Amino acid sequence: MEKQASEKNIVLEIEDLVVNYETDGVVVHAVNGVSLRLEKGKTLALVGETGAGKTTTALSILQLIQDPPGKIRGGSITMDGDALLTFSERQMESIRGDKVSMIFQDPMTSLNPVLTVGQQIAEVIQIHQKVSKAEAEQKAREMLELVGIDGGRAGEYPHQFSGGMKQRVVIAIALACNPTLLIADEPTTALDVTIQAQVLELMKELREKYQTSMIMITHDLGIVAETCDEVSIMYAGRIVEHGTLRDIFKETRHPYTVGLFNSLPNIKRRQEMLKPIKGLMPDPSNLPTGCSFHPRCDYAQAICSTRKPAQTFLSDTHFVECLAYESNTGVTITKKEG
Amino acid sequence: MAETLLEVKNLKKYFKTQKGLLHAVDDVSFTVDRGKTLGVVGESGCGKSTAGRTILRLLEPTSGQVFFEGKDIFSLSPQQMRAIRKDMQIIFQDPYASLNPRKTVGEIIGMPLVLNKLIPDPRKREQRVLELMETVGLAERFINTYPHELDGGRRQRIGIARAMAMEPKFIVCDEPVSALDVSIQAQILNLLTTLQKKLGLTYIFITHDLSVVNYFSDDIAVMYLGQLVEKASSERLFEKPMHPYTQALLSAIPVPDIDHKQERILLKGELASPINPKPGCRFAPRCNYVTDKCIGKTPELKEITPGHFVACTLV
Amino acid sequence: MSEQASALKKYKKRSQMAEVWLRFRKNKAAIFGLIIFTCILLVSIFADVLVDYETKVKQQDFMNRMASPSWEHPFGTDEFGRDILGRVVHGSRLSLAVGLGSVAFSLLLGGTLGAVAGYYGGRLDNLIMRIVDIFMAIPSTIMAITIMAALGASTFNLMLAIGISFIPTYARIMRSSVIGLRNTEFVEAAKAIGAKNSTIILTEILPNCMAPILVQITMSFAFGVLNVSTLSFIGLGISPPTPEWGNMLSTAREYLRDAPHMCFFPGMAIALTILSLNLLGDGLRDALDPKLKQ
């Protein structure tokens, strides 16, 4: 089923992705039918809590899920017209770091401690481009300058850099081959606030300059508001609400998304009790029937535990998976004051 | 005037490292009133956790004094110290690391009672443990489970129950919600608020998350590389931050509001570590307003309006 | 009230050993090791019941010297016509007892030294560990030979001689585990609720060091059994006529061409014991590894 990828300039399209982790008869349903599309130059935020399936979704794009126990059980991932899930390991290797690259959460562990940062950047360039060693090293220095590090430090080792600087090096490696798609998995979680501000600013600049599409995985709605164009809210392996930044922040519809916003301490409303979502994330090896969120939902009705909600489009850009927005379900969301 | 519960005077804690003397906490003074919460904020390496642990004497101070209800706790003998620990407790950041993996929930919560021989009768002790579990919202059925079988939020509840077991007056909360998911974080913050209201607890709330600290604290102290740079009431600090570092820190928080576009003050450079620091303002190398006056002499903490202290030569 | 008071009993704890066992059970080689070792252990415990010492082990039969394995003597007979099966069975007792004794001795001494050095650190640590280093610098067999030569041959001295060479290993393992645990938050938490140092070491730290120690116990037990045989082989350990695998091998060596079975069976006993203990240790290491947990 060849999709017309060129329409609207879609860079990445994921269709009904299902990923399980299977060990000793226990099946963890990490991703249960995720579909998303990303336009060129746009940034999509994947928001959710631990275990929502954000990272698994991202890793499936690069086929970096550890197998065993991880198994992609269904769906398709199309990038620039190529069906990535049919690719061999060899073909994937040529894509990783070239067309798609990834920034991981912890810069301390994603750099090799025994190679200089220059070597590590040059390595990526040499793998994917036909250049000499000297050329690659020259390019590596340029990349360092680009992320705000003096090119002369190319000969230094990762431990000689601070956390924020290391993350800049990681960004330089990720951008070295000018990828079409950049996946950033909580790129600033391990950094301090003032350093985070610097790194986010840098990523924004570089993305605008190179028109890179990006998937930003985060749990911080503040970062989302500042860096992203579209938002997908994930819960228990599904996208429960998706829309533009405005759709999600101003026209919040799904009870889970509402709950997420209410859980944040608000700088303006101090000394007021927070309104957390009750209960805990469901066990992904034993998901609730019907809507996965119903045990924690304030508006849940009997039907929520038996019927799976479908995507309901509220506008061209905004959809939600909640029975309250489907017709004749009897589920209603009564707005609380405020 | 409210009654002072805790007074910290010129507290210093230095660590010997291979590169020199690390001034983790360098001449910090402040007071906390009974029933109030002091938020201590700062980035990694600013000494906030070290300060919290030194106040409880989990680390021995280099110099300085800490008065708890008027008693200088650094002058107490080990026996006296053990007795006063009943009143001063700590909740740790990492609910994974702060619970002994070989003990059950019941054993962990009951341990302070056993150690201090508070409730010798095992049956009564068990009841007290169950009471504590109920207070922090842990179901009775978890009493014989091990921490690793539970999720982060529940583990943090165990840590809170353990701290509450001896009915302390004062608790140092060292980043108690940083390791938790947003929705769980809110549950724990609410629990801490409820406990404070019910039992009149006094908190020192250490965190790097400014939105949490603002929500939670009456006063906020901002630390930078071992020193206190600004202290004020929460409203005041967020409205009128005076120190250039506080201003930058506040502007760096990503705000989850798409209409609120605030000017961000980007700081130059990176956090250093305070090893053998030279006299002078430690923030000077990153400060956007640095002048010659900033170098050579460490700025003192001045009270510019009642209750608002700033350590900056420009103020 | 009464239903509340029974909560501890109502909710049974799932033992951590049970979880370890679940993982251990999957390792076929380790189970094989466990079965073999249990058999050897049972044989040595019930040696007297299985084979009568007076008639089968001590009694010489010159008509039947160096007889090949037969129905009457499944392992054959030795140069005095004694039943080799009986001697191998009874020989297991000494080997295992000395192995176990040496492990216990070194674990107690080395473990304590390591725990103290690791927990208190500083100068005390330096002092203890340098002394341990000195012991480590001497090859264990040579040290054991020296001690046996100086103290004379006896079962107790044998335990001592073999055990001393294990002390550095236990001290090192214990010290590094304790250092890793000393600064954890749960130790700090125990301090914060008023625990004394001794309480902290005994209830917080030690239970968490057990995994590497347990693995080491199986390994050094195997090494201990081997050492007993080595020393007996060169005549410093248990000397004939008391049956011991090492000294049996030693005498059998002279008759290797004429009666190879005399070497084969005690040799097999040593090899099997060591193999089973090593398999057991490997399995334990995998089963206890916290990284595989979850």
- Secondary structure of C148-206 as H, E, C letters: HHHHCCCHHHHHHHHHHHHHHHHHHHHHHHHHHHHCCHHHHHHHHCCCCHHHHHHHHHH
| ipTM for the complex shown | 0.82
- Each of the 315 residues of chain B gets a pLDDT tens digit; together they read 578 999 999 999 999 888 888 899 999 999 999 999 999 998 887 889 999 999 999 999 999 999 999 999 999 998 899 889 989 999 998 777 889 888 889 999 999 999 888 888 888 899 999 989 988 888 888 888 888 888 888 889 999 999 999 889 999 999 888 888 888 888 889 899 999 999 999 999 999 888 888 888 899 999 999 999 999 998 899 889 999 999 998 888 888 887 777 778 888 777 777 888 888 888 988 888 888 888 888 888 999 999 899 999 887
Chain A residues close to B184, C-beta within 8 Å: 49, 276, 280
Q: Are A106 and A190 spatial neighbours (Cβ–Cβ below 8 Å)?
A: yes
pLDDT tens for each residue of B113-161: 998 888 888 888 999 999 899 888 888 888 888 888 888 888 899 999 9
Residue B47 gets the label, from left (phi > 0), alpha (psi -120 to 50) or beta, of left
* H-assigned helices in B200-269: 210-216, 234-239, 244-252
A211 confidence band (pLDDT: 50, 70, 90): confident
- Cross-chain Cβ contact C189/B94 below 8 Å: no
List the one residue out of A3, A96, A107, A5 whose CA is nearest residue A58. A96
A2 confidence band (pLDDT: 50, 70, 90): very low
C154 confidence band (pLDDT: 50, 70, 90): confident
Least confident stretch, A4-8, A105-109, C119-123, C284-288: A4-8
Any domain includes C195: yes
**Which of B193, B252, B264 is closest, CB to CB, to A273?**
B193
Look at residue C293 and tell me whether its pLDDT is greater than 60.
no
HSE on the CB side for C249, CA within 13 Å? 23
Interface list for A 243-302 with B (CB within 8 A): 245-246, 249-250, 259-267, 270-271, 273-277, 280-281
Q: What is the pLDDT of residue C289?
A: 66
| Other residues' Cβ atoms within 10 Å of the Cβ of residue B28 | 25
CATH number of domain containing C151: 1.10.3720.10
HSE on the CB side for C27, CA within 13 Å? 21
Q: What is the pLDDT of residue A215?
A: 93
Which helix (H) or strand (E) segment holds residue C207: the answer is: helix C206-233
A245: nearest CA partner in chain B: B258
* Angle of CA points A184, A230, A207, to nearest 5°: 50
Any domain includes C1: no
Q: Three-class SS of residue B95?
A: coil
| Other residues' Cβ atoms within 10 Å of the Cβ of residue B193 | 18
pLDDT tens for each residue of C5-61: 456 666 666 666 777 788 788 888 889 999 988 998 888 888 777 777 777 767 777
Any domain includes C11: no
List the one residue out of C241, C239, C233, C223 whose CA is nearest residue C266. C233
Any domain includes C8: no
How far, in Å, CA of A189 to CA of A216, rounded?
12
How far, in Å, CA of B203 to CA of B269, rounded?
33
* Angle of CA points A13, A16, A17, to nearest 5°: 85
List the one residue out of A247, A242, A241, A272 whose CA is nearest residue A337. A272
Any domain includes C38: yes
- Cross-chain Cβ contact A193/B44 below 8 Å: no
A23 confidence band (pLDDT: 50, 70, 90): confident
Which helix (H) or strand (E) segment holds residue A298: the answer is: none
Any domain includes C130: yes
Q: What is the pLDDT of residue A271?
A: 58
Domain architecture of chain B: domains with CATH: 4-254+261-310 (3.40.50.300)
B54 touches chain C (CB under 8 A): no
B99 touches chain C (CB under 8 A): yes
Q: Are B146 and B155 spatial neighbours (Cβ–Cβ below 8 Å)?
A: no
Question: CA separation (Å) from C17 to A264, A330, B106, C13?
Answer: 41, 51, 19, 11
What domain range includes position C204?
A: 16-292
Look at residue A8 and tell me whether its pLDDT is greater than 50.
yes
Q: What share of chain A is helix, strand, coil (3-state, %, to 5)?
A: 35, 25, 40
Look at residue A270 and tell me whether its pLDDT is greater than 80.
no
C66 confidence band (pLDDT: 50, 70, 90): confident
CA distance B98 to chain C (A): 4
Any domain includes C111: yes
Q: What is the pLDDT of residue C294?
A: 37
Average per-residue pLDDT for chain A: 85
- Cross-chain Cβ contact B254/A250 below 8 Å: no
- Cross-chain Cβ contact B126/C7 below 8 Å: yes
- Cross-chain Cβ contact A281/B248 below 8 Å: no
Q: What is the pLDDT of residue A178?
A: 85
C195 confidence band (pLDDT: 50, 70, 90): confident
**How many beta-carbon pairs under 8 angstroms link A with B?**
120
C5 touches chain B (CB under 8 A): yes
List the one residue out of B177, B187, B99 whose CA is nearest residue B145. B99
CA distance A168 to chain B (A): 12
Look at residue A202 and tell me whether its pLDDT is greater than 80.
yes
pLDDT tens for each residue of A127-178: 888 888 888 999 999 888 888 888 888 888 988 888 888 888 998 898 888 8
How far, in Å, CA of C180 to CA of C208, rounded?
10
**Which of B58, B102, B159 is closest, CB to CB, to C191?**
B58
Question: Count of domains in chain C?
Answer: 1
Q: What is the pLDDT of residue A338?
A: 35
Query: Does the predicted TM-score (pTM) go above 0.90?
Result: no
- Cross-chain Cβ contact B98/C12 below 8 Å: no
Any domain includes C10: no
Tokens matching residue B74: 């650094």
